[in-house]
Amino acid sequence: MNALAIRTNGLYKTYRTGFLHKKFLALNNLNLEVKQGEILGYLGPNGAGKTTTFKIILDLIRPEKGEVYIWGKRAYGSSYRQEIGFLPDNPYFYDYLTPLESLDFYGKLFNFKKSERIERSRELLLWVGLDNFKDRQLRKFSRGMLQRLGVAQALINNPKILILDEPMLGLDPMGRRELRDIIIKCKENGKTVIFSTHILSDVEMICDRAAIIFNGTVHDVVSVEKTLETEIQFYEVIYANTTGKHELIRFKEYKDAMEGVENINKQGLKMISFNPHRMNLEDIFIKQAEGRINRWGK
């Protein structure tokens, strides 16, 4: 149990950019572990190095230093890619194909027989909720539908590991929810999933753990469940003052908060709310982000 599906060890990656080919360190000693069967949220702002990490794991680009291990074995060449399904951040589909034709095309890339391709494609379209649209041209698809097809494409070779690069980006709330449900279903079917995002709520809702990346380094890895179960940090009391304006007071201790509430009552003021505040992913993220995000880019 708890074998590591993916492990990266001390990855360094520099890009050369601009006219002067200035060096830019995109990954700086990046260590990441994805456990078997979990959903890991890879959380970081734009430009943090998430896509670069994925490309290195998939051996699409090479790091200057560091190694990638898949199921404990050094990942070289293309054979281990059978293990991995990948949804890129900007998947490209042929507008005039239908989902069925698209999946058939990807099936061919894996040398599946025709009968196998048909069966697998139909099954996957059902799986991602596109079976009613299997004969509709993709140019008529919404972004959410295309993303779901993207996941189906990533699953075509029945991989054990699924890597999704910003799968929820640009989706409306319904689309996000549908995609989250598909990711959960993948986990329930024994797959290991890592997806990148900068949306905290998506991570809180479905991930087992979150790895927080800034400037090419993973700074923190947290168990989402444990984070949400942490002790109460403070109590927030909101009341209406004599002019009816809402005021907020924070108390560290429960006893003091209750005293505060009593005082508010004594003064005949109206209580609006009483909220215990637990540490959430946002607090952790903000703490990590302080001083780390360069708002002006590189």
Residues 6+ apart with CB under 8 A from 16: 22, 23, 24
Of 163 and 281, the one with the shorter C-beta distance to Mg ion is 163
The listed partner (ligand ADP, Mg ion, none) that binds 44, CB under 5 to 8 Å by sort, is ligand ADP
Q: Is 44 in the site for ligand ADP (CB under 6 A)?
A: yes
Q: Which of 10, 22, 46, 252 binds ligand ADP (CB under 6 A)?
A: 46
Assigned token pair, 3: 């074998």
Task: Please give the Cα distance from 172 to 104 (Å, whole number).
Answer: 28
Q: Is 51 in the site for Mg ion (CB under 5 A)?
A: yes
Query: Which H or E run contains 234?
Result: strand 232-240
Assigned token pair, 98: 């239908």
Of 104 and 165, the one with the shorter C-beta distance to Mg ion is 165
Site size for ligand ADP, by CB under 6 A? 13
CB 196 to Mg ion: min, Å: 6
| Eight-state DSSP code of residue 141 | -
Q: Is 12 in the site for ligand ADP (CB under 6 A)?
A: no
Q: In terms of DSSP H, where are the helices of 222-277?
A: 224-228, 254-266
Phi, psi of 245 (to 5 degrees): -80, 145
**By CB under 6 A, which span of 41-49, 105-113, 134-142, 252-260 interacts with ligand ADP?**
41-49
Nearest to 236 by CA among 265, 268, 260: 260
Q: Is 159 in the site for ligand ADP (CB under 6 A)?
A: no
Q: Which of 14, 28, 47, 250 binds ligand ADP (CB under 6 A)?
A: 47
Question: How far lies 82's CA from each of 19, 43, 149, 161, in Å?
Answer: 38, 26, 19, 9
CB 285 to Mg ion: min, Å: 17
Q: Is 8 in the site for ligand ADP (CB under 6 A)?
A: no
Q: How long is the chain?
A: 298
Q: Is 57 in the site for ligand ADP (CB under 6 A)?
A: no
Residues that bind Mg ion in the complex, under the rule CB under 5 A = 50-51, 89
Residues that bind ligand ADP in the complex, under the rule CB under 6 A = 15, 17, 24, 26, 44, 46-52, 298
